[in-house]
Amino acid sequence: MLPNTGKLAGCTVFITGASRGIGKAIALKAAKDGANIVIAAKTTQAHPKLSGTIYTAAEEIEAAGGKALPCIVDVRDEQQINNAVEKAVESFGGIDILVNNASAISLTNTLETPTKRVDLMMNVNVRGTYLTSKACIPYLKKSKVAHILNLSPPLNLNPLWFKQHCAYTIAKYGMSMCVLGMAEEFKGEIAVNALWPKTAIHTAAMTMLGGLDIESHCRKVDIMADAAYSIFKKPKSFTGNFIIDENILKEEGIKNFDVYAVKQGYSLMPDLFLDEYLDQATKKPESHGAVPELKGKKPQPPAEPRSGAVEETFRIVKDSLSDDIVKATQAVFQFELSGEDGGTWFLDLKSKSGNVGYGEPSDQADVVMSMSTDDFVKMFSGKLKPTMAFMSGKLKIKGNMALAMKLEKLMNQLQAKL
């Protein structure tokens, strides 16, 4: 863990989405120095699945040694942003650091993303970041510290990061483009940087997206708080950078990253937008002039499945099913497999003691997964992580993403048998 130095004592840090998760962690880290924290978030009453409000966060910040100013802010509302900035200046005399943390996510493809969800991501991620920065900049210019930090990824134009969740990528890259433009525009006056995690970070939102089992493969929010704190210590000349949390902490001399793991000994899920963590096979450039893989009619499954690795995999899955697994999952999965032994298969983890079979399920599938038979066998045997398969384009998913991620638990249980 990175120790506090007291450098932020008396500084005013304005953080969007600071009522929980990474935003609150950054707030608490700064509060230990005696910083003033403006909690600009919209949660005023406890959410049934997401703990924390602007008021509970304020209590924690005060207990950690900082001063807190909870402000009701939906970053889609320009007036609420401006009101919070005015209150911050009235209460603390200025603003020294802005953290654009508020964000909306939907890892869905173009046809599966409702317009209202597209609007939400664009308005929160891009427009909210832009307007909050615009409102804070006049006061940041007067500060000796003067930092803007956006929680957004490096601008990686590999098509793999667009094909599965185009709208979300555009929205997050919009935040990163604010870094690129504002760092140059305010060079010498305000440092503007982006911070992104190397691995998945465990937050309440992550649990909602991937289920309780996802936390074992995540790091704690502390690593992002430490990385942000390291950035805040740097001079204004440190600007225009797209920083990965682990990399900057290595520069700080941190060597033991196991302390950041939610559960030590588990493999960590890599985060999106970082090519270096993709399977080597996915790094081959795509031919953008090639004929699309699926053109015209959808390939029909053979009349009967041939014996082979796919059938054997489903046999083992069937033998491993239990009432507990069905109760914990409550989903029907359909697999569209291309290649030898392919076709349509299903895994019913919703009815009775569960079932598997060839063909379409009797009830409508909650999740449809499309991939090659080779990758399917690798995925269930642990040689290919579902997250990596999805991010690299080897696995296409339609339907409920949260239920899709639940399937990973079953795969982990089966790896010893496959």
Residues marked as catalytic: 168
**Residue 279 burial by Cβ neighbours in a 10 Å radius (0-12, 13-18, 19+):** middle
- The helix (H) or strand (E) run that includes residue 209 is helix 204-210
Helix pair angle (21-31, 222-232), 10° resolution? 50
Q: Residue 218 in contact with residue 206, Cβ under 8 Å?
A: yes
d(CA 261, CA 217): 8
DSSP single-letter state for residue 290: S
How many C-beta atoms lie closer than 10 Å to residue 232's C-beta?
A: 24
Residue 245, SS3? helix
Contacts of 160 (CB under 8 A, 6+ apart): 278, 282, 391, 392, 393
Taking the CA atoms of 391, 394, 400 and 406 in sequence, report the sign of the dihedral they define.
Answer: negative
d(CA 328, CA 333): 14
The Cα diameter of the chain in Å comes to 74
d(CA 5, CA 8): 8
d(CA 137, CA 115): 31
d(CA 299, CA 284): 25
Considering only CA atoms, which of 190, 152, 119, 134 is closest in space to residue 17? 152
How many C-beta atoms lie closer than 10 Å to residue 368's C-beta?
A: 19
Residue 149, SS3? strand
Q: Residue 386 in contact with residue 395, Cβ under 8 Å?
A: yes
d(CA 111, CA 213): 29
Residue whose pair of structure tokens reads 């204004």 in the numeric block: 236
